[in-house]
Chain A
Amino acid sequence: MTLDAVLDVVAAGCLIAGALLSLAAGVALVRFPDLLSRMHAAAKPQVLGLLLVLLGCALRLRSGVDITTLVLVGAFQLATAPVAAHMVGRAAYPHDEIRRDLLLTDELAAHLDDVRARRADAPGEPDPASRPA
């Protein structure tokens, strides 16, 4: 078996594993009960699955320029996925889409009570908890 054949087999394995993780994200989006658990399921297999597919693609293409482009895509995905997930979660937080009974810990609850108390004091004031995160 030559090196090329071995690299092709490894690339095929990476592509299939990445596609399976994408499928897992799709199943989780349909099956999971609320926004935060869906977001958890969407953010992780999405990033890891995409990195595996990009790795498989890089192993097949094997040229410097193409690998640089693929590394750029992967690095960008790694840098932006947490930011996007954080912003979506923060925008969703004090509202009905989240099932609070499913949360193990709620670090924003004290802050939310604080805000509610302040709003009760001065009802005309805009709600600082709902400002764009």
Chain B
Amino acid sequence: MTVVAVLVATLLAVAGALTLTRIIRGPSILDRAVATDVLLAVVVAAIATEAAYSRDATALPVLVVLAVLGFVGSVSVARFAARRNVK
């Protein structure tokens, strides 16, 4: 299981780094919103992997909060971008 945990951690770290380059490079705020959503999914996957590796359910409520946060984040950024485009 340790090998699996290291492998999954490496894959998720690379995915997070690639997502971060998209957040930094943009070019538009909606690109960043989409990339932030993916980064949040990567973080959720990492926390779930940690819980699976140590058989410890302490972090599971955090997953629920993060799932809600990702939705609220991208919807509010989308509304903000749509309103700004009217001007």
**B63 near A29: Cβ-Cβ < 8 Å:** no
User: How many A-B residue contacts, CB cutoff 8 Å?
Assistant: 178
The chain A residue sitting closest to B12, CB to CB, is A19
Contacts of A47 in B (CB 8 A): 41
Q: Which of A15, A59, A63, A97 gathers the greatest number of chain B CB atoms within 10 Å?
A: A15
Q: Known: A88-B30, A88-B33. Is A69-B78 also a contact (CB below 8 A)?
A: no
Interface residues on B, range: 35 or more
Contacts of A115 in B (CB 8 A): none
Interface residues on A, range: 35 or more
**A61 near B51: Cβ-Cβ < 8 Å:** yes
Q: Known: A66-B57, A69-B60, A92-B28. Is A87-B75 also a contact (CB below 8 A)?
A: yes
**B34 near A42: Cβ-Cβ < 8 Å:** yes
Whole-angstrom distance between the alpha carbons of A130 and B57 in the complex? 45
A116 to chain B, nearest CB (A): 15
**B61 near A50: Cβ-Cβ < 8 Å:** no
**A70 near B83: Cβ-Cβ < 8 Å:** no
Contacts of A97 in B (CB 8 A): 27-28, 30-31
Q: Known: A91-B85, A92-B28. Is A26-B52 also a contact (CB below 8 A)?
A: no
**Shortest 5 CB-CB distances between A and B: which pairs?**
A26-B18, A26-B15, A19-B11, A80-B71, A60-B52
A124, CB-defined interface residue at 8 Å: no
